Amino acid sequence: MEVGSPSMVIIEGDYINPLSDKSTKLVRDGALVIEESTAGGRLIDCGPRDLVWRRLSRKAEVAQVIDRRGMMLAPGFVDVHFHWVQDDVRLMPKDSLLEWLSKYTWPYEAKFKSVDHSKKRAQKFSSELLQAGTLAGLVYGSIHDHSVDDALNYFQGEFACGNVLMTMNSPANLLQTPVQALKAVRSLGKKWRTRYALTPRFAPTTHPEVMRKGMSIAREFDCMVQTHLSESLNEIDYVLELYRQIKGFEDVSSYTEIYDRVGLLTPKTVLGHAIHLSPAEWKLLKKRGSAIACCPSSNAPVKEGGLGSGVFNYLEANRYKVPWALASDIGGGPYLSMLDVMHSFIRQQKRARREASFALAHHRATRAGAKIMGVDKQVGTLDRGSMASFIVLPGGSRSTRSALDAELYWRRLLNKKGSQRADYDHLVLETYVDGKLAFSQIGQ
């Protein structure tokens, strides 16, 4: 390979590149080569350090060598479902989904009416994302248009965001008319296009007509689509009872079918949770090509900081070939770090007597999510040609004399005795976005 450009940066260290659920490329004593241009830094080569240096034809053009030997380089995380406007409620008491929403979540989201509050919180949240190493994701804002603009203006990486649509069964301070909701969808969809996500909060809060008309706008501008589906059993009863009283839905057989009847299920649709699905619903999702955001730390038992909704059956999703990826679901989930989400996923699956490896969880916290969002050529991998958006983690090969494989690496990092879940938010040592250092705690 011809390597040589006016400005190249080499970063040396071990690295880990998730390829699939079962396969991870872990290179000890490796190096990444970043070519810098006005469009940002791209990875143009990677491999064992000595091989990478040998392949460089014009060493003089290497502008900088960053020594991170003894540390682990990994792709930035992709979080396919979180509510950036719920940062303040993630550790609030969670008795049940519907209660937590009305008692804590909605009053906090109402505060985002203030343009000033929204801007300040977006700046803060942007730093939290960099610190957690999350460089792509699908984001829920509040009902307010500027909550979308602020997220997309401040968050660094590949994010798509939508304003939640709340046109029925919502508190007065968060209630929109269908006309207001659709007007916002049109203007934000036109402005942000593929970075906009049509976001009915969930079936009970959004008129079916608003969802139907919203979808035609989303198609026009090639937007993403996101909503919640079948998170808890109480919720499903409530949704079906409600919809069977609405004209055109009297005979609807499932929660999933409600979304299908309004044309919401497409290959650009990501459904949060989908824990309690019937075989017919799985088949319908497969047929429509829609994906699922699995949010283990949010679904976890109440005593573990979640809403106690149940455990997502990832084996069923695989069996029906429904794409899925991991997500934090802040504030249903208590922590933003995808390391906590990976850890929680394995814990919940083990409890449900399903085997799940860290390698699988890592793949679903990076590449799989990027693929669902259609940005896997840019982020979520350390493949040649992708943007140089990656993180630096502690504990590479210098910290161990034994053979280092991905499983062992993650186990050592995340199962460390005495470590607290909140510590995961501080494990990332450095974060690079498009080749530029955006966060660092090395040498502090």
Q: Smallest gap, in angstroms, from Cβ of residue 383 to Zn ion?
A: 30
Q: Considering beta carbons, is residue 14 or 329 the nearer one to Zn ion?
A: 329
Q: Smallest gap, in angstroms, from Cβ of residue 83 to Zn ion?
A: 6
Q: Candidates 12, 45, 150, 329: give the one binding Zn ion (CB under 5 A).
A: 329
Q: Which residue has the tokens 């801007």?
A: 119
Q: Considering beta carbons, is residue 109 or 430 the nearer one to Zn ion?
A: 109
Using CB under 5 A, which of the segments 56-64, 142-150, 280-288, 329-337 binds Zn ion? 329-337
Q: Smallest gap, in angstroms, from Cβ of residue 231 to Zn ion?
A: 8
* Site membership for Zn ion, residue 376 (CB under 5 A): no
Using CB under 5 A, count the residues that bind Zn ion: 2
What is the gyration radius of the CA atoms in the chain, in angstroms?
Answer: 22
Q: Considering beta carbons, is residue 164 or 184 the nearer one to Zn ion?
A: 164
Q: Considering beta carbons, is residue 26 or 277 the nearer one to Zn ion?
A: 277
Q: Considering beta carbons, is residue 49 or 144 the nearer one to Zn ion?
A: 144
Binding mask 144-183 for Zn ion (x = CB under 5 A): ----------------------------------------
Cα–Cα–Cα angle for 144, 221, 112, rounded to 5 degrees: 10
Residue 180 CA to chain centroid, in angstroms?
28
Using CB under 5 A, which of the segments 70-78, 213-221, 286-294, 328-336 binds Zn ion? 328-336
Q: Smallest gap, in angstroms, from Cβ of residue 235 to Zn ion?
A: 12
Q: Smallest gap, in angstroms, from Cβ of residue 129 to Zn ion?
A: 17
For the record, the structure tokens of 137 come out as: 């994701």
φ, ψ at 394 (rounded to 5°): -75, 165
Q: Smallest gap, in angstroms, from Cβ of residue 285 to Zn ion?
A: 18
Using CB under 5 A, which of the segments 15-23, 316-324, 325-333, 396-404 binds Zn ion? 325-333
Is the CB of residue 78 less than 8 Å from the CB of residue 365? yes
Q: Considering beta carbons, is residue 259 or 410 the nearer one to Zn ion?
A: 259
Q: Considering beta carbons, is residue 272 or 323 the nearer one to Zn ion?
A: 272
Q: Smallest gap, in angstroms, from Cβ of residue 142 to Zn ion?
A: 13
Within 92-111, the residues that bind Zn ion by CB under 5 A are none
Q: Smallest gap, in angstroms, from Cβ of residue 55 to Zn ion?
A: 45
Closest CA relative to residue 156, chosen from 172, 182, 175, 137: 137
Using CB under 5 A, which of the segments 124-132, 141-149, 323-331, 355-363 binds Zn ion? 323-331
Q: Smallest gap, in angstroms, from Cβ of residue 330 to Zn ion?
A: 8
SS (H, E, C) the chain: CCECCCCEEEEEEEEEEECCCCCEEEEEEEEEEEEEECCEEEEEEEEEHHHHHHHECCHHHEEEEEEEEEEEEEECEEEEEEEHHHHHHCCCCCCCHHHHHHHHHHHHHHHHHCHHHHHHHHHHHHHHHHHHCEEEEEEECCCCHHHHHHHHHHCCCEEEEECEECCCCCCHHHCCCHHHHHHHHHHHHHHHHHHEEEEECCHHHCCHHHHHHHHHHHHHCCCEEEEEECCCHHHHHHHHHHHCCCCCCCCCCCHHHHHHHCCCCCCCEEEEECCCCCHHHHHHHHHHCCEEEECHHHHCCHHHCCCCCCCCCHHHHHHCCCCEEECCCCCCCCCCCHHHHHHHHHHHHHHCCCCCCHHHHHHHCCHHHHHHHCCCCCCCCCCCCCECCEEEECCCHHHCCCCCCHHHHHHHHHCCCCCCHHHHHHCCCEEEECCEEEEECCCC
Q: Considering beta carbons, is residue 36 or 79 the nearer one to Zn ion?
A: 79
Q: Considering beta carbons, is residue 200 or 272 the nearer one to Zn ion?
A: 272
Binding mask 215-254 for Zn ion (x = CB under 5 A): ----------------------------------------
Q: Considering beta carbons, is residue 34 or 307 the nearer one to Zn ion?
A: 307
Within 251-290, the residues that bind Zn ion by CB under 5 A are 272
Q: Considering beta carbons, is residue 139 or 265 the nearer one to Zn ion?
A: 139
Using CB under 5 A, which of the segments 84-92, 279-287, 324-332, 360-368 binds Zn ion? 324-332
Contacting positions for Zn ion (CB under 5 A): 272, 329
